[in-house]
Amino acid sequence: MKRHADGTWRNSNKPIVISIDVQRARFVEAETLHLKKMGLSFQDIADRITSIGRGQAQPMTKIAEGITFPADYRISKQACHRAVKKAIAREPSLELEELRKIDDARCEDMWMNLQPAIRNGNTRSIEVGVKVLGHRARISGLAAPEKHELTGKDGKPITMLQVLHVLGPIPE
């Protein structure tokens, strides 16, 4: 036997009826995720969804028919954070290689859109094109590894003996 969203048992011959509360929660998850992708803070998202619930603002995502909000509806920034986490957990995750392919395709699109301006000699487009190519080389593993070196007060590289002298004896 399965349960309804409100916790009561249901007959296996009857379909699940999704309550208004669950539908409202799914809308809030979708709206918070959309607003977070746009770069808003959780406080701004909470204020925006509170306004939507009170009918003072239009949502960015579609609200299903029948979803209503209480007259004094409000949501906290912590609840928005939880809603984003739940929405992200519901989405299927991509493997690293798939993400690289998607990012590579995005870089290719950016490069192709910059081509007319680069051919015309627009210096800003050339700078952005070089950055796109650099990013593409890094994600593809074609970029040369960067070497980092610590130097002492005299400008010469720090030796391991100098590091051990500063740290003191190492316990066994």
DSSP 40-53: --HHHHHHHHHHHH
pLDDT category at 59 given cuts 50, 70, 90 is: very high
Where does residue 70 rank: exposed (0-12), middle (13-18), buried (19+ CB within 10 A)?
exposed
Higher pLDDT: 165 or 47? It is 47
Non-local (6+) Cβ contacts of 152 within 8 A are 158, 162
Give the pLDDT confidence score for residue 20 in this predicted structure. 86
Question: CA-CA distance, 81 to 45, in Å (whole number)?
Answer: 9
Residue 156 is inside which H or E element, if any? Answer: none
**Could you tell me where the DSSP H helices lie in the chain?**
20-37, 42-53, 77-90, 96-119, 123-140, 160-167
Give the pLDDT confidence score for residue 49 in this predicted structure. 96
Residue 1 pLDDT exceeds 60: no
Give the pLDDT confidence score for residue 92 in this predicted structure. 79
pLDDT category at 64 given cuts 50, 70, 90 is: confident
Residue 3, phi then psi, degrees to nearest 5: -110, 155
